[in-house]
Amino acid sequence: MLSFELMRVLLLLLLFSFNVVSAQESNIPPEYYNNNELSKILYYSRQLLTRAPVREFIWETFGDEIVKIYPEAAKTKEISESQFILLLREIPELQPLIEKYLKAVPEIDPDDKKQDALREKFKDKFRLIIAKDNVIAQFKKLYDPYSAFEVAPEGEIAYRSSETEIYFNHPQIQGRKIIPPTDLKQVLIDFIDGAKPNTSFYFNVFDFDLEDVADALIRAHKRGVKILGGIDGRMAGQIKNDKGEVITDRLRPQVELIYKKLKKAGVYVHPTTMSALNHQKIAIRNLGSEGEGEILFSSGNFTQSCIGQEGDLKDIENRPKDSIPNANHMVIFKSPILSIITAHELIKRLHPNYQLTGKDLPLGGAYQIYGEMDPKLKLYNTILFAFSPRGGNGDINLNILSRIINNTSGILKFGQFVMTSKTLLTAIVNRIKSDLEKIGHYSFLSIGDGPFALRDYSVFVALSGLKKEDGIYLEDPDAEIRKVLNQSELEKLREHIRVAPQEYGFSEKIFKIKNPDGTITERKYGAKYHMKAMISGLFAVLGTSFNFSDNAEKNNEQLLVVRDMKLWKALNGALDWAYKSAKGPVYDLAMRRNHFAQEESVSEKNIKDKKAGKSSAYEKLNCSKALKAG
């Protein structure tokens, strides 16, 4: 039996643990802000669409009529959350009914028969409102699952370009000037230090190892800022398998230390439990103060390698000049509406009342807000934004990105860390074909991170008319781009499909440090071209965590598409610098690798292939050269 003293100690530890959790949860932001109607509507949506019976009832009510207009909606059998929010905004009579329902049924209990009876009563009242106002006809008119929900109408200014800032940690070309890099870590720290007492601060990030950023969050907490944060749980070493063992597939001890430091200081941080990546990079400040709300979107994590200006060798006094951070950028908007909706998305993922993952999240659409009128374009500036998983009606690549590519003309530029989506490959090919038919020429360039741009699944390899087999690159006679361009036209396109500048290398470098005792310590360092950016016509994709891949659809991600010439020009300058400084075309680097494949063509593997009656890599390469020549 346990001694009395041991039992007393265990009880005290249990109480202490409970008090720490309770204190942390009491310091998180409220679920909604009474002085903001949109915040209240989002709360209703969050409460209702996280309940399976409610989602089923809404589809039962509207589904048949919607499928008549949009047959593809039958695949999901859900209306998107952005369209449900539209319904709540356009039919305010529903809101008092929802308030009563949530008080009567605060939580779903599948075994409670009384709840079933209550739910049926509320369904009848809902149907009466729908019938009285002919809401189904109205909603059919408003509902388009493939259009963004306009949170505020065109002409109502929800953000100002003049108050928006964008920062890059690598150079930009603007006219004849080279704009030097910005210290993104300091931008983030200043953003956190600008959080006012008695307001709310939110953040969610995949990777986090910066002590001074953690210190800034702790300072904010101490001055009365309510914080709701998130870190990828597997990165922080907080997720266990069925045997109670820590899952270590992406554990980083430095992230675990940051998580524990913040938790000890009383900052609420949720270690996300999803098996896919918690890949967002977002911070929001000053919500709760009327008329305020600012949001920072980043392509880079809160890590030294992503946003620390010294790169991996920060602690080395005489570090080499090529110790630089991964290529990234940040954009900051002053916009209460944008901040409130993004906070809503983070609450679903991080707040202790929800902490949803994967299919538990409601089907998401996209949102749109407007800025000022651009005097030259005679168009309003816009921001379209969406969040995965399940954003863009479950397919951001298809329903948002490919639509932008296909529905614009002129300039098409990419700066990509990883780009593997076959949907987007098809969209690019179709866009080149369309521009050739309509205006007689196309304008395309791309910059890809070295290692990923040359992988066999890379869009840039396929767009170069190549495929990779047995470690070598071959001309692909079935490549989609060959349906649009002949061989000489393809060779011109290849010149514009480039690998990132030399400083974003293909492999880690070694820096040797001579110790006082004469021994040598080796330190690895390197940088990646970590951008996730696109320019298509007048639109720019920036401030996003979403790599242009199918895997990103499963992750927690943010996507922003802007029509704003200030931001467009800044991104264009950053892409132009990377393009002009590029290591070379993907095709040229692929052929260089083939040179080594030729030298290895008499290897033991190839001898075995010949014995088995298979073509050697060298023979395949010769066939590929013949295809190019012919």
* Sign of the dihedral through C-alpha 470, 472, 474, 480: positive
pLDDT at 569: 98
pLDDT at 93: 87
Distance, CA of 115 to CA of 110 (rounded, Å): 8
| Model pLDDT for residues 337-390, shown as the tens digit of each residue | 999 999 999 999 999 999 999 989 999 999 999 999 999 999 999 999 999 999
Q: Identify the three-state secondary structure at position 490.
A: helix
pLDDT at 79: 86
Region 593-608 average pLDDT = 65
* Range with the poorest average pLDDT among 6-20, 506-520, 542-556: 6-20
pLDDT at 13: 47
Q: With 70 as the cut, is the pLDDT of residue 613 above it?
A: no
Query: Could you check whether the bond before residue 181 is cis, i.e. omega within 30 degrees of 0?
Result: no
Q: With 60 as the cut, is the pLDDT of residue 616 above it?
A: no
Helix axes 211-222, 253-264, angle to 10 degrees: 10
pLDDT at 21: 46
Q: With 60 as the cut, is the pLDDT of residue 426 above it?
A: yes
**pLDDT category of residue 67 using cuts at 50, 70 and 90:** confident
For the chain, percent of residues with pLDDT exceeding 90: 70
Distance, CA of 181 to CA of 174 (rounded, Å): 13
Q: With 60 as the cut, is the pLDDT of residue 23 above it?
A: no
* Mean of pLDDT over the chain: 90
Distance, CA of 587 to CA of 498 (rounded, Å): 8
Q: How many CA atoms lie within 13 A of 606 on its CB side?
A: 17
pLDDT at 18: 44
Q: With 50 as the cut, is the pLDDT of residue 406 above it?
A: yes
For the chain, percent of residues with pLDDT exceeding 70: 88
- Best mean pLDDT range from 181-185, 288-292, 615-619: 181-185
Q: With 90 as the cut, is the pLDDT of residue 114 above it?
A: no
Do 241 and 251 contact (CB within 8 A), yes or no? no
Distance, CA of 492 to CA of 130 (rounded, Å): 59
Say which residue, 467 or 621, is predicted with more confidence: 467
* Range with the poorest average pLDDT among 152-156, 280-284, 292-296, 419-423: 152-156
Q: Identify the three-state secondary structure at position 67.
A: helix
Region 606-630 average pLDDT = 55
Region 121-132 average pLDDT = 83
Say which residue, 62 or 531, is predicted with more confidence: 531
- Full set of structural domains in the chain with CATH: 37-145 (no CATH), 161-360 (3.30.870.10), 392-629 (3.30.870.10)
* β-strand pairing of 497-501 with 443-448: parallel
pLDDT at 12: 47
